Chains A and B, each alone.
Chain A
């Protein structure tokens, strides 16, 4: 059992989300970095759709009310115990009763010059990013709303009426008292976090290319963009040389990954809590294999895009899911994880 001492910038519970309710105005929600969530859940022996804490940027402090096994994954947000011991990502840690976990914020040479620069595992590249995932033994207990434990504030869905977690909130493992798995580490060589490799994010062209000036996609791909501070779980605003904006179109449905071009020419890339319908032309969509990297972008980050075919995007998605299955096998995970499926959903 963990109690929130300080929620930090934003602390929510996220699982694989509630896809399939877009017709009712409900976004899929779920983890912004689905790979990070899946990693934490696999290490914690949670089921494929299990819930984890999504820690954003940092400032979060959690207290263990009883000793528990804690699986960390996603970005390295500088987690450490109050005795100063670092809690590396992609490892299961013992957090003794009474001690606190503090997420000080991203560390590493690139993020904080002169920072600790701790590798996740010997030789493993640093996972830089905005979001860390914390799972407890068997997952995080709690009731589902509309088939999911994910917090979605605008719709009042998820635990605590959908609001972000606040001081005093308590999170219990599904298997209380289970301290198994301490020291278990993610097979980094089999399945490195997508954010450990660089390169531009893919964009699958469409569906509104025809409603935008010719060359818009090339203009997006030819620019370097900066993630604006006005970004959240709904979407990422990109700052840079504005594109020639398009006229508004008749609103159509939307999905996470959609790259909208508003009339002001400053693109918005939708994330897990993004709107389900909208009237800005969508120049293209970041494919599912790149959502983990998209979800790890932090304000101030530079980001570039490259057009990718749907077939290439799907090949990357399949490769990514196959790596998750390999990791599950290496960890001896529940058979549910061994099936090639959308495990990184949400």
Chain B
């Protein structure tokens, strides 16, 4: 589609990330065509909800290894897509697996066992062309912006936009800004950027509308590696000024 996303899509509003007093939504299992189900755990972007998504994904993935016809699950912010091959597995059987996994007691968060992945970032200058503007808009010093960004531990909510692009939350409220009015035609690979209550890392050069604070040399995406994405869904991440 050539309107072609020129920047990571607007996945959430900052309002959606505010503390939400509503009770947890009832889980819905919706059809996604004839060969997939979408498990909807809630209707908001929320770290706890997202952690449940990754736990459910891990459980379904594990079960899928032993169950012919069950495909690899795809996590969203508050939902999980479960694909199945209808020539092999009935929809009712796929639904039964999902119901069983939802009923199982909550295990530890997927990435809790692993230490956070450290991403070294050169903030500001040519590597972070928007640092000064972000400081100006937020009324903070550039040093404060860096401290806030690097002083927070993030989780990979979802991976998308381009292969290996991690949507990381939750960015401190002080740094929340709408996306740039005019997206850049080229954001270099390794650029570390923010928008709304999220931060992300551009794994390849692409157009982009987020505010670029810095850049990393970490190889975010390499299709020749066994795990092509450095940061998978559910990963915990810390940024460290280089």
Q: Does any Cβ of B come within 8 Å of A4's Cβ?
A: no
Contacting residue for A277 out of B1, B86, B160, CB 8 A:
B160
Q: Please indicate the chain A residues that have their CB under 8 angstroms from the CB of B79 in the complex.
A: 250, 252-253
Q: Does any Cβ of B come within 8 Å of A279's Cβ?
A: yes
Q: Please indicate the chain A residues that have their CB under 8 angstroms from the CB of B87 in the complex.
A: 317-318, 321, 340-342
Identify which of B1, B165, B204 gathers the most chain A CB atoms within 10 Å of its CB.
B1
Q: Which residue of A lies closest to B31 (CB)?
A: A206
Selected interface stretch from B5-13, B97-105, B139-147, B173-181: B5-13
Contacting residue for B30 out of A25, A206, A286, CB 8 A:
A206
A250 touches B43 (CB 8 A): yes
Contacting residue for B33 out of A204, A250, A276, A321, CB 8 A:
A204
A251 to B75, CA, bound (A): 10
A288 to B36, CA, bound (A): 11
Q: Does any Cβ of A come within 8 Å of B131's Cβ?
A: no
Q: Please indicate the chain B residues that have their CB under 8 angstroms from the CB of A279 in the complex.
A: 9-12
Chain B interface SS verdict (over half): loop
B158 touches A237 (CB 8 A): no
Contacting residue for A276 out of B34, B40, B160, B223, CB 8 A:
B160
| Chain B contact residue count (CB 8 A cutoff) | 56
Q: A23-B233, A252-B79, A279-B10 are in contact. Are A207 and B74 (CB under 8 A)?
A: no
B9 touches A251 (CB 8 A): yes
Q: Which residue of A lies closest to B166 (CB)?
A: A25
Q: Which residue of B lies closest to A203 (CB)?
A: B33
A25 touches B165 (CB 8 A): yes
Q: Which residue of B lies closest to A308 (CB)?
A: B34
A84 to B145, CA, bound (A): 68
Q: Please indicate the chain A residues that have their CB under 8 angstroms from the CB of B36 in the complex.
A: 255, 285
In the complex, what's the smallest C-beta–C-beta distance from B165 to chain A, in angstroms? 6
Q: Which residue of A lies closest to B37 (CB)?
A: A207
Q: A23-B159, A253-B74 are in contact. Are A146 and B34 (CB under 8 A)?
A: no
Contacting residue for B5 out of A146, A255, A275, A340, CB 8 A:
A275
Q: A24-B163, A250-B16 are in contact. Are A155 and B43 (CB under 8 A)?
A: no
Q: Does any Cβ of B come within 8 Å of A287's Cβ?
A: yes
Q: Does any Cβ of B come within 8 Å of A156's Cβ?
A: yes
Selected interface stretch from A50-58, A98-106, A115-123, A226-234: A226-234
Q: Please indicate the chain A residues that have their CB under 8 angstroms from the CB of B171 in the complex.
A: none
Q: Please indicate the chain B residues that have their CB under 8 angstroms from the CB of A268 in the complex.
A: 1
A234 touches B10 (CB 8 A): no
Q: Does any Cβ of B come within 8 Å of A86's Cβ?
A: no
Q: Does any Cβ of B come within 8 Å of A125's Cβ?
A: no
Q: Does any Cβ of B come within 8 Å of A240's Cβ?
A: no
Q: Does any Cβ of A come within 8 Å of B47's Cβ?
A: no
A204 to B37, CA, bound (A): 12
Q: A275-B161, A277-B158 are in contact. Are A251 and B40 (CB under 8 A)?
A: no
Q: Does any Cβ of A come within 8 Å of B206's Cβ?
A: yes
Q: Does any Cβ of A come within 8 Å of B153's Cβ?
A: no
A276 to B36, CA, bound (A): 14
| Chain A contact residue count (CB 8 A cutoff) | 58
Q: Does any Cβ of B come within 8 Å of A49's Cβ?
A: no
A284 to B38, CA, bound (A): 12
Within 8 A of A (CB), among B220-240: 223-224, 228-229, 232-233
Q: Which residue of A lies closest to B54 (CB)?
A: A23
A277 touches B34 (CB 8 A): no
Identify which of B38, B43, B223, B229 gathers the most chain A CB atoms within 10 Å of its CB.
B223
Q: Please indicate the chain A residues that have their CB under 8 angstroms from the CB of B199 in the complex.
A: none
In the complex, what's the smallest C-beta–C-beta distance from B71 to chain A, in angstroms? 6
Q: A204-B31, A204-B33, A249-B43 are in contact. Are A24 and B158 (CB under 8 A)?
A: no
B30 touches A154 (CB 8 A): no
Q: Please indicate the chain A residues that have their CB under 8 angstroms from the CB of B162 in the complex.
A: 25, 154-155
A278 touches B9 (CB 8 A): yes
Q: Does any Cβ of B come within 8 Å of A192's Cβ?
A: no
In the complex, what's the smallest C-beta–C-beta distance from B68 to chain A, in angstroms? 11
Q: Does any Cβ of A come within 8 Å of B135's Cβ?
A: no
Q: Please indicate the chain A residues that have their CB under 8 angstroms from the CB of B40 in the complex.
A: 207, 252
Q: Please indicate the chain A residues that have their CB under 8 angstroms from the CB of B2 in the complex.
A: 230, 232
Contacting residue for B34 out of A154, A157, A253, A287, CB 8 A:
A287
Known: A252-B38, A287-B34. 5 other contacts (CB 8 A): A22-B81, A258-B33, A314-B91, A317-B86, A318-B86
Q: Which 8 A-B pairs have the closest CB atoms?
A: A285-B33, A207-B30, A277-B160, A253-B81, A22-B74, A313-B34, A252-B76, A253-B74
User: Could you list some 28 contacts between A and B, CB below 8 A?
Assistant: A22-B74, A23-B74, A23-B75, A25-B160, A154-B163, A155-B223, A204-B33, A204-B34, A207-B31, A207-B32, A207-B40, A232-B1, A237-B3, A249-B43, A250-B12, A250-B43, A250-B77, A250-B78, A251-B160, A252-B77, A252-B78, A253-B80, A253-B81, A275-B160, A287-B33, A314-B86, A317-B35, A317-B86
B interface, CB within 8 angstroms of A: 1-5, 9-12, 16, 30-36, 38, 40, 42-45, 57, 71-81, 83, 85-87, 91, 158-165, 204, 206, 223-224, 228-229, 232-233
